Structure 1
Amino acid sequence: MSEIKTITLTIDGQQTTVPAGSSIMDAAKSLDIEIPHFCFHKRLSVAGNCRMCLVQVEGGPPKPTASCCFPAGDGMVVHTQSDMVKDARKGVMEFLLINHPLDCPICDQAGECDLQDISVSYGSDQSHFAEQKRAVEDKDIGPKIKTVMTRCIHCTRCIRFATEVAGVEEMGATFRGENMSVGTYVESALQSELAGNMIDLCPVGALTSKPYAFTGRNWELIKTPSVDIMDAVGSNIEVHSRAGKVMRIIPRENDEVNEEWISDTARFSYDGLYENRITSPLLKNKGKFRAIGWKKAVETLLPKLDNKKTIAGLVGDLHAVEDLFAFNAFMKTTLGSDHVDARMNGFALDGSYRPSYLFNTTIEGVDSADAVVIIGSNPRLEAPIINARIRKNVVNRQMPVYMVGAEVDLTYKYKHLGDKPENIAELYDGKSAISKELAKFEKPLIILGADTLGRSDGLGIYKEAEKLADKIGALSSNWTGLNVLHNKASAVAALDLGVYPEDKGMDLGKTLKALEKGTVDTLILYGDSTHVDAEKLKGAKFTVYIGSHRDAYAEVADLVLPVTPYTEKDAWWVNTEGRLQEAKASVAPLMNAKEDWKVFRHLSGELGKPLPFNSLEELRAHVLKKCPNYKYNNCIAPAEKWVSIAGADKLLKKSFVETVTNFYKSNEILKASKVMTECAESSLNKNKAMRKAG
């Protein structure tokens, strides 16, 4: 490996050594020297159009130069605070403010606005401008983003993000100079699943959150670190609350997971935390629910939990580690029932061998891959953040992507190789041109959709993917390139903790058949899932639903117990790569809702078989005994040696299909959100219009 060439330069009297090719701004950052800027962003291409980052270079151009795009040179001497630089910045600042309105008192960006901060620090208290300010018509770009385009300073960050990161070229600029206008070419709702990140990128108040408009100020909000659970990526987020209510959600930077982006479902779904919530226990009487107290609810439920009865438990998609452990212990230890399953998509594998169901390469590891093979998955809808990372490498490194599955728009080019399981063999047979092409790569990465492994031939598909990985060198001593991409937040933790039948218990399929026959005495529905229709869950003599939202699963129940969503409890979450992350409670439980694990602990005590923990700390100690890997908080446990999975190799002739068909309605919180409903409708209308057009 060749040595990295370096250069040494002096900035404001301080010497620094940086890699050759670095800009002056990069070098200044290494010394913690602040250079003001608007258009520059470390994850976007360099535009150099705001001119705010001017510096003076000794022996260089006679005028100040833009530090974001001027390469640092060996022996260079740079000044960032000379009189020339200060005067130039004041001039640039004055030009930027010429047409900017004095909207600060009514602008949602106030208090976290780059233009405010930089104008105070580097601008002038006077202006020479005495003409009429320009006015620009606002654009309606959908339910996510509010526009006030008169505030736009033409930094083009939003345009570059849409083009380079999101891969949906919806934003652009028309005209030039003072008449330049930023927006969509045709006024319509933004369709990217990552569009909300433009709000964070916008350095002024031109693009702000439409759902958050006029609801609060930045300095009024309590900021709590948390983890997104709208998919299985585990994006790091910050939940902002006021007066015990979630007001908005923004990203936290984590280069190993989400960089600094989050999906629109993570950002805009928080109104769903309060819509359709269950705030007290409900008991069905003559087909109608009536509110009751917890004491009455427990008294009603206890006789239905007699261990002589056939009791089955099905587990939904949005449960934290501690809650899954407590429910599993409640079912198997307290109730003595092994009829429990959290694999609501019918996932073919169990938790006996951890690498078989993880994204082993890691999310950050995508940056090291030299080719990607996607089998039965649509990362754009199942994991937009991972899809954006794949796109980054396709754009920056021309990394090739191959697809076996439904032909979909992934925001980057790929070679479509068929849509049936039998097409996988063509990739490793050594005869086809594609198999020879794949064999040349050093670090190929294979992505298997978790829902695809829920087919009746799921194990066979997995075995085929394993053969492919072995043949093309994706399973070597220094590279594990076979990955399962989950799209539900609790999927990996449920497998880790053994929330499935481990002896002779009924799995999902057998439970559904037993419900058809009417042989289930008590069915415990713990949370909601989009994988199984509520109509299939009828048939038990008594059904109890334990969840946060009153949805279709709640309606089939006889008794409903309210528990808390992710923002109302301290909890551990495990993402698709097996990374454990901690989220803190941002608000208190709503009304009579209780933390999930406390409900199971109380019920076990009432039944005379108390679970062995009374606090969250004690519960976590038991979790760590079950899953020692969880001691690696916010990092990946050491890789295990690869072991082939035994099982049948049967494959169906059936084509792969998209498993996530409505990105904005894929769990109970999203289904309850009015904003997500608007997004789903605008997406549907856009798709209809496109089909009609051609």
Structure 2
Amino acid sequence: MLRIPVRKALVGLSKSPKGCVRTTATAASNLIEVFVDGQSVMVEPGTTVLQACEKVGMQIPRFCYHERLSVAGNCRMCLVEIEKAPKSFYMLQLSYREGVMEFLLANHPLDCPICDQGGECDLQDQSMMFGNDRSRFLEGKRAVEDKNIGPLVKTIMTRCIQCTRCIRFASEIAGVDDLGTTGRGNDMQVGTYIEKMFMSELSGNIIDICPVGALTSKPYAFTARPWETRKTESIDVMDAVGSNIVVSTRTGEVMRILPRMHEDINEEWISDKTRFAYDGLKRQRLTEPMIRNEKGLLTYTSWEDALSRVAGMLQSFQGKDVAAIAGGLVDAEALVALKDLLNRVDSDTLCTEEVFPTAGAGTDLRSNYLLNTTIAGVEEADVVLLVGTNPRFEAPLFNARIRKSAITYRYDHGLGYDSPKISLKNIASGSHPFSQVLKEAKKPMVVLGSSALQRNDGAAILAAVSSIAQKIRMTSGVTGDWKVMNILHRIASQVAALDLGYKPGVEAIRKNPPKVLFLLGADGGCITRQDLPKDCFIIYQGHHGDVGAPIADVILPGAAYTEKSATYVNTEGRAQQTKVAVTPPGLAREDWKIIRALSEIAGITLPYDTLDEVRNRLEEVSPNLVRYDDIEGANYFQQANELSKLVNQQLLADPLVPPQLTIKDFYMTDSISRASQTMAKCVKAVTEGAQAVEEPSIC
């Protein structure tokens, strides 16, 4: 669609006839009055005619136009008549649309019965509404060779209508200029020119925005029709962003995962790991309780036997002899239940896998461990300083926001992966050239990655960044409630665990090894058998046989995020809920229910029987955990900075390099994605090239 700003449209003096658009400017405000089929609507200068028509509920057909992409004007479907204009504008009447549709269908194959886009196809819908039921085209249709762009996106390029949505998404949103057009007219093709993998962590979104069946999901190919599936609104837990998703299921199986609109978090995009790792929910699952026998082998047993064994150990040991570690995919309900269980045996050794410095303000001040500016707030920032993080692979949707707000070209400030001993000190002192950029900023933003805090000098890094953020706030043009200091977490459970009083990191367990260790979904490998006494009794509760299960003496099978109604808190402190899409496999149960049953057998019954009662307990411990889709603001940065001065730790000379540097590091980061064959194919494709996973195309 060709963008026609309303302010440039001709001013109509008489009442608009049916099917026309006229505009008049108002002197009282900056808004412009537009008449669409005689209906008045006020719009801002620069609004397109299509957007003005949509404001009054008029449906304008389009293929190339997308609200979040630049305007291309390729398809010519959105034509309308503007009163007294010398010619029709791109945005037109039914006769024009019927002709355009006939041209589009002239070369389009009749693949609807075998096309995965069937039922969700814009071309299908609009040809029914605006097209003809006859074709005058008798010549042979154009055929285009399919492109191999990796293991995720299947291409049937004969169906392509050259809307260029995928090209614009790759360039403008994903920041990867891998897609483009070659040829002209009837010979135009969309592809990568030289056959290669579409190297983007957001590549699956081109499937959603493709208006036809040219780009579809390879893992989902020929598995189900959209009207056959049941859709459940939920959230993603593969990172700490908390993207909103829709889980499509059929006969108790997850068939695919799609994005769900949330303007403040993920807009309408999701990462490839979120979209395609769902096959990991079906593999390497723990479906029955297991117990280690006299020969040292894990064997299946009953729930009663497994829980009785664990309860006996909890009755035998108390206090510091009992400890627990929570993993990255654990929900808030399970966290509070485990906390209550250990508190009843006089233990407070509850740890997370991820480290967060406790020196200085530590986790006592909530603003010290949140993304305070919020995910959507980054669009307002005029300067962003990233410290020890690569958001492209740690939080792809947050990275897309950064690109959207600021990045239009590469700009080297000479920082790179330098030693924090040099860079942070120089920025704090004002001797680094980038210090002046920060000083001149009106809305600066400093983002410290949680991966940087896993280092031995994590406390010193946090103190240095806190000092920089406070100095920026005092010396630059920051006004109002703008928050400079931000922490970008990598795992979904960390913020809720810190809110509930868990100790970050497992150093306390290493220093004082327990007799009984409870691993709640702890698959990060933060502790091994060698770190513990030989007689330490290990309980693993989780949904995958990944890192934690093999070292356990008892295994209690839990439910994954698609199999339970649970609370997660994202990196900005926003509480959200997953919903039950499918039932847990085999004898697996929800985590909080397992802990509740264990407490009863151990004779220390927890005071809740239903999910609502557990959430009432959550509210008692940390009220913000049940204020769903709300962010509780915190503003104790000055106090945190004062406390950071008490940190007695020196910065190391080692370069501050994020652990996820390349796209290969992105695909397999947790127990679900490590169990996914699709994610394994992605790693193989990146390592060996797209040809290594080439699959034959059926159509």
TM-score of the pair, normalised by structure 1: 0.90
Aligned to 1:588: 583
Aligned to 1:131: 139
> For structure 1, which segment, 641-650 or 291-300, has the greater mean C-alpha deviation from structure 2 after superposition?
641-650
CA spacing shift, 1:540–1:578, aligned 2, 3 Å: farther
Quote the offset at 1:687 in angstroms: 11
- Give the AA of the match of 1:608: G
Secondary structure class of the residue paired with 1:434: helix
Aligned to 1:297: 306
Deviations 1:166-194 (A, max 9, x none): 00111111111111111112212221000
Secondary structure class of the residue paired with 2:667: helix
Q: Structure 2: any 5+ residue segments left out of the alignment?
A: 1-26, 693-699
Contact 2:336 2:618 in 1 (8 A): yes
Pairing 1:630–2:628 present? no
Quote the offset at 1:512 in angstroms: 2.6
Pairing 1:113–2:143 present? no
Pairing 1:685–2:695 present? no
Contact 2:615 2:626 in 1 (8 A): no
CA spacing shift, 1:559–1:531, aligned 2, 3 Å: closer
Give the whole-Å Cα distance in 1 for the aligned partners of 2:125 and 2:316.
65
Give the whole-Å Cα distance in 1 for the aligned partners of 2:69 and 2:564.
36
Secondary structure class of the residue paired with 1:305: helix
Pairing 1:142–2:145 present? no
Pairing 1:229–2:266 present? no
Aligned to 1:122: 130
Deviations 1:42-89 (A, max 9, x none): 100000000000111121133x3212xxxxxxxxxxxx6xxxx11100
Secondary structure class of the residue paired with 1:25: helix
Give the whole-Å Cα distance in 1 for the aligned partners of 2:668 and 2:257.
18
Deviations 1:78-113 (A, max 9, x none): xx6xxxx11100000000001111100111100011
Aligned to 1:650: 650
Aligned to 2:430: 430
Aligned to 1:322: 333
**Aligned to 2:564, which of 566, 569, 580?**
569
Deviations 1:172-230 (A, max 9, x none): 11111111111112212221000000000000000011111001000111110101000
Contact 2:97 2:131 in 1 (8 A): yes
Aligned residues: 649
Aligned to 2:349: 339
Quote the offset at 1:401 in angstroms: 8.3
CA spacing shift, 1:458–1:171, aligned 2, 3 Å: same
Pairing 1:560–2:571 present? no
Give the whole-Å Cα distance in 1 for the aligned partners of 2:143 and 2:355.
53
Aligned to 2:521: 527
> For structure 1, which segment, 367-376 or 604-613, has the greater mean C-alpha deviation from structure 2 after superposition?
604-613
**Aligned to 1:511, which of 509, 513, 523?**
509
Pairing 1:614–2:635 present? no
Pairing 1:262–2:275 present? no
> For structure 1, which segment, 628-637 or 561-570, has the greater mean C-alpha deviation from structure 2 after superposition?
628-637
Give the whole-Å Cα distance in 1 for the aligned partners of 2:550 and 2:112.
48
**Aligned to 1:10, which of 22, 30, 35?**
35
Within 5 A, what are the aligned runs for 1:242-391? Answer: 242-285=250-293, 286-306=295-315, 308-309=317-318, 310-333=321-344, 335-345=345-355, 347-348=357-358, 350-391=362-403
CA spacing shift, 1:261–1:403, aligned 2, 3 Å: farther
Deviations 1:440-469 (A, max 9, x none): 101100000112112221111111111111
Contact 2:563 2:584 in 1 (8 A): yes
Deviations 1:600-622 (A, max 9, x none): 11111111111111100001011
CA spacing shift, 1:23–1:399, aligned 2, 3 Å: farther
> For structure 1, which segment, 260-269 or 606-615, has the greater mean C-alpha deviation from structure 2 after superposition?
606-615
Aligned to 1:484: 487
Contact 1:425 1:464 in 2 (8 A): yes
> For structure 1, which segment, 521-530 or 587-596, has the greater mean C-alpha deviation from structure 2 after superposition?
521-530
Secondary structure class of the residue paired with 2:406: helix
> For structure 1, which segment, 367-376 or 184-193, has the greater mean C-alpha deviation from structure 2 after superposition?
184-193
> For structure 1, which segment, 98-107 or 536-545, has the greater mean C-alpha deviation from structure 2 after superposition?
536-545
Contact 2:290 2:300 in 1 (8 A): yes
Quote the offset at 1:341 in angstroms: 0.2
Quote the offset at 1:4 in angstroms: 6.9
Within 5 A, what are the aligned runs for 1:387-398? Answer: 387-395=399-407
Quote the offset at 1:425 in angstroms: 2.1
Aligned to 1:23: 48
Contact 2:382 2:406 in 1 (8 A): no
Give the whole-Å Cα distance in 1 for the aligned partners of 2:170 and 2:607.
51
Give the whole-Å Cα distance in 1 for the aligned partners of 2:184 and 2:132.
26
Aligned to 2:13: none
Secondary structure class of the residue paired with 2:440: coil
Contact 2:322 2:516 in 1 (8 A): yes
Query: Taking every aligned residue pair, what percent have the same amino acid on both sides?
Result: 44
Give the whole-Å Cα distance in 1 for the aligned partners of 2:400 and 2:154.
24
- Give the AA of the match of 1:672: A
Quote the offset at 1:630 in angstroms: 2.9
Secondary structure class of the residue paired with 1:472: helix
**Aligned to 1:241, which of 235, 249, 254?**
249
CA spacing shift, 1:216–1:473, aligned 2, 3 Å: same
- Give the AA of the match of 1:205: G
Give the whole-Å Cα distance in 1 for the aligned partners of 2:329 and 2:507.
21
Quote the offset at 1:652 in angstroms: 1.5
Contact 1:343 1:500 in 2 (8 A): no
Give the whole-Å Cα distance in 2 for the aligned partners of 1:540 and 1:152.
62
Contact 1:231 1:488 in 2 (8 A): yes
Contact 2:366 2:634 in 1 (8 A): no
CA spacing shift, 1:587–1:3, aligned 2, 3 Å: farther
Aligned to 1:409: none
Quote the offset at 1:533 in angstroms: 5.7
> For structure 1, which segment, 631-640 or 192-201, has the greater mean C-alpha deviation from structure 2 after superposition?
631-640
Deviations 1:591-638 (A, max 9, x none): 100100001111111111111111000010110111122343112113
Aligned to 1:66: 90
> For structure 1, which segment, 303-312 or 666-675, has the greater mean C-alpha deviation from structure 2 after superposition?
303-312
Quote the offset at 1:514 in angstroms: 4.2
- Give the AA of the match of 1:276: Q
Quote the offset at 1:395 in angstroms: 3.9
Give the whole-Å Cα distance in 2 for the aligned partners of 1:126 and 1:539.
79
Quote the offset at 1:155 in angstroms: 0.4
- Give the AA of the match of 1:341: C
CA spacing shift, 1:287–1:597, aligned 2, 3 Å: same
Pairing 1:163–2:171 present? yes
Aligned to 1:101: 109
Give the whole-Å Cα distance in 2 for the aligned partners of 1:319 and 1:488.
10
TM-score of the pair, normalised by structure 2: 0.89
> For structure 1, which segment, 525-534 or 12-21, has the greater mean C-alpha deviation from structure 2 after superposition?
525-534
Quote the offset at 1:307 in angstroms: 5.2
